[in-house]
Homo-oligomer: A and B are copies of this chain.
């Protein structure tokens, strides 16, 4: 595949996909699996991908299988739960030199880092989409509660396939065939 034209203004931000967290959340293997799908789809569609890591010097880095999907992965460490906490180095690193209009969120945990990042992004005026099948939590009921709260706050709460099929728009898209292979592989 030739390198796709970037989707202007979109960023897939994968939050804290570190093994220590993936092991702790309910259905963590499934969350990782769907995040792999999202990363593969984003790359094929020309959507830039970035990873955050919570205190990696202590908790370890991002799951290797995910990083391996991206050449020269963009990784930002953080100590705040929100990747976009006002004045934080992580926020500066993610946003500088880049125009973000639409932040697409994956990762863990929905009620903590995903929630706080989404709230900060909404307050910053960004369009925010949380990929429901690419996020997770230790306490599953908390996850549903937080997604509903984010929806009321203005976030788009959508499955990954819905977002990517919407960007593809039709079977005429050059990435369509590869994408349907990804849908099968990760289904």
> Are B151's CB and A148's CB within 8 A?
yes
A95 within 8 A of B: no
| Residue of B whose beta carbon sits closest to that of A164 | B112
How many of these chains are in the complex?
4
A111 within 8 A of B: yes
| Chain B proximity of A113: nearest CB distance (Å) | 8
Given the known interface contacts A138-B187, A151-B152, A152-B151, the answer about A145 and B158 at a Cβ–Cβ threshold of 8 Å is yes
A170 within 8 A of B: yes
| Residue of B whose beta carbon sits closest to that of A86 | B169
Given the known interface contacts A138-B187, A141-B133, A148-B151, the answer about A159 and B111 at a Cβ–Cβ threshold of 8 Å is yes
Neighbour of A169 across the interface among B82, B146, B157, CB < 8 A: B82
Given the known interface contacts A55-B171, A145-B132, A171-B79, the answer about A116 and B166 at a Cβ–Cβ threshold of 8 Å is yes
Chain B contacts for A169, CB-based, 8 A: 80-82, 85, 116
Render A72-90 as a binary contact track against B, CB cut-off 8 A, 1 for contact: 0000001111100100100
5 closest A-B pairs (Cβ-Cβ)? A80-B170, A142-B159, A111-B162, A112-B165, A79-B170
Pairs A–B under 8 Å by Cβ, sample size 8: A55-B171, A79-B171, A80-B172, A82-B170, A111-B158, A111-B159, A112-B165, A133-B139
